[in-house]
Each structure stands twice: as structure tokens, then as C-alpha cells.
Amino acid sequence: MNYPLSEDERMIQKTARDFARKELAPVSLEANEKGIFPERIFRRLGELGFMGIMVPEEYGGVNLGSFCLVLALEEINAVCASTGVTMSVHNSLTNWCILKYGSEEIRKRLLPSLASGEMLGAYAITESEAGSDVSAMRLSAVRKGHEYILNGAKIFISTGDKAGAIIVFARTDPGNRTKGISAFVVEPGSPGFSIGKIEKKMGLKASTTVELVFEDCRVRADNLLGAEGMGMKIALAGLDGGRIGIAAQAVGIAQAALDEGVRFSRERKQFNTRIVDFQSTRWKIADMATAVEAARLLTYRAAKLRDAGEPCSKEAAMAKLFASRTANRVVYDALQMHGGVGYTEEFLIERLFRDARVTELYEGTSEIQRLVISKAVIEEFERTVPD
């Protein structure tokens, strides 16, 4: 897409694209086939600056913003959405929360290893009875002296078994549904922390999604982020950035599917005609390309607002809603253009089809994005349109 980028932004995009195509693609093929988590890839991403994109230089990062993260995520996700989700959660949720709400001591202790890719980050909100309804969470955190004691479990946590720093949301006040939640950094190795069920997923085969179990798990009191009771605010503020990251993931997957559709339909002939020369294919290509560019623009706008320090919950939700829907439509049409071979593991479109699905589910389902958007629209109306 022809979009005005600064020289630095263009360089970041090119570095990510070259890395994704030359280094990540071969590793990702095997990792996705065999369900292997490609640990060493994250060290390389760290060397390139992509594991600490928003982290200031004093903590080992490269001090760029959400927009640059989006540019990099698009390229990584076009090649491997498993790597993409790990990188997105790491940067836009873990690093960001530590930077924004962590004490100076926590920042100094954790951010350099996170920014170098030696340590990975995770973000744990979901519980068996608290999915879309975050305020129903029950994992408890009780203060005892210089520690909090955590009891309960989180499910579906991306990278939870590989991470060195996990942002865990827990209930510190059972009497207050939303203001009774607090955020902690849990470091595996804490007594009472273990990994439970490991999910077998439809896609994202080279990422891990696990249960985290807390049994009298002791966490240093100074690993509390912000103050007691700020957890819900932190969770939602983090998710604004997280949703922009998932929107970028969806754009990357959609672009890759469009490219695969065009590539295949130029090569395959039926009725002595290239598939790409049937008018029905051309129309599909036009609609797919237009939707991908619209999704990209919504994602770029949300990222730019976040970088400018402007409120962006509505825009992040719009970007995620539209980009994830687009990714699912585009993978469907691109697979259709392949015919039967699109349904086999020999063609990349089969993986893209499976990987796209989750973008409508995690970091808030599409239904939840619609709730966020409609609430903001109605509030805007009430504020700005006179009776």
C-alpha cells in the first residue's frame, strides 16, 4: 500500500519484512508443522529491536511507538501468526504495562531482559468463569507482610509456560467487582506457581496457550503494578494497545492470503484460461484488496492516536473488529480461489485460514468490540449533539 512513511519507519518495515521472509519463514514452516515454539527466533527479534520497540533506551529498548510496532507486526504475521501473537503480547501488553505502571525498580529489573528477547512476556486475565466478563475474575491476592498470596487459576494464557514475566490480574477486594482487582508481575519460580493444561489448538501451532495455577503463590508486594484496585483500569488500558497489535496481526494474515490467492490464480488454468482471468476472480481480488487497505488504515489510525497519547479505545476496537473480520473473509476467498488444493497442508493458505480464526476471539471477541464501539458512539452523541 502506498502510505507516507518516514525514512525510519520505512527502514523498520523493510528490516521486519527481510527478517520474516529470509529467517522466519523456514523456521516457521517446521515449527507450525511440528507444533514447536521457536524460542531462538525471539532472541533474533530482540537483536533487531523488535522485542523492546516501545521500551526507552535506558532500559535496553529502541524507544519507538505503537505505529512502528504495527509496521513490524504486519510483516511478521504475514509469515508466522504464532510468532506474531507472542511478539504482540510481549510488546503491547507486558512491556507496556511494566513501563507505564511498574516501579523504577521493576523496570530496571525486568525491561532489559524483555527488550533483548532473552525473557518473554505474558498477560493473564482470563479464567474459566471470567472470559468476556473480566470483572467476574476470582483469582485472589491477599497481602501478608511484604508479599501477596495468590490462589486460583488463569486459562488460555499465550506464552504462559515460556514467559519470565507475567502480568497477572487478581482480586484484592472480594466486595468490589471492578475496583477490587489489582495487577501483579509474577515471575515463574515464585513458590506455588505451576503450569496446568496445555491447549491443543486449531491454529497458531507454533505458539503456546496454557493454564496457570496459583496455590498459595507468593509474590513480592513491590511487584504490584500501580496501586491496589487499579487492575481493571490497567487491564483495559493495556488491551487498547493489545487490540491494535491483533488488528495488525489480522492485516498481516489478510495481506498474505491475498498474495497467495493472486499467486495461485495466475498459475492455475482451467478451460484454457488462467483462474485470475475469470471476472469472478478479479472481483474477488478487488474486494479483498480494498478491505485489506481499509483495515490497515484503521489500524494505522489507532496506533497513531495511541502514540499521540490520545484516547483510542473506540478506534482500537474498530481496527480489531474490522481487521479480524477482513482477515477471515479474505482467507476464505483466497482458499476458494485455490480450489481443492487449498484444503491441503501443502499450501500456505490452509494455515492462514486456521490462524485467522482466533483474531475474532482473543483480546475481546468481535461482540465485545461492538459493545466498546457502540458505547463510545452513544456517549459521543450525548456529549456533542444538542437535544
Enumerate the active-site residues: 363
Residue 358 binding ligand FAD, by CB under 6 A: yes
Residue 240 to residue 226: CA distance in whole angstroms? 18
- Give just the sign of the alpha carbon dihedral 314, 320, 326, 329: negative
Contacts of the segment 7-15: beta carbons below 8 A, 24+ positions apart: 8/64, 8/68, 9/67, 9/68, 9/71, 12/64, 12/68, 12/71, 12/72, 13/71, 13/72, 13/74, 13/75, 15/48, 15/72
Q: 102-131 mask for ligand FAD (x: CB under 6 A)?
A: ---------------------xxxx----x
CB of residue 200 to ligand FAD, shortest distance in Å: 11
Q: Which of 96, 156, 214, 353 binds ligand FAD (CB under 6 A)?
A: 156
Q: Which of 105, 277, 367, 379 binds ligand FAD (CB under 6 A)?
A: 367
Question: Of 4-12, 99-107, 151-159, 323-331, which segment contacts ligand FAD by CB under 6 A?
Answer: 151-159
DSSP class of residue 226 equals S
Q: Which of 64, 362, 372, 373 binds ligand FAD (CB under 6 A)?
A: 362
Burial class (CB in 10 A: 0-12, 13-18, 19+), 242: buried
Query: Cα 313 from chain centroid?
Result: 15
CB of residue 242 to ligand FAD, shortest distance in Å: 9
Q: Which of 27, 87, 89, 316 binds ligand FAD (CB under 6 A)?
A: 89
Question: Of 15-23, 155-163, 180-188, 223-231, which segment contacts ligand FAD by CB under 6 A?
Answer: 155-163
14-73 binders of ligand FAD (CB under 6 A): none
Question: Of 48-56, 71-79, 156-164, 212-220, which segment contacts ligand FAD by CB under 6 A?
Answer: 156-164
- Can you give the three-state secondary structure of 230-274, one letter per residue? CHHHHHHHHHHHHHHHHHHHHHHHHHHHHHHHHHHHHHCEECCEE
Interface residues toward ligand FAD, by CB under 6 A = 89, 123-126, 131-132, 156-158, 201, 204, 209, 358, 361-365, 367-368
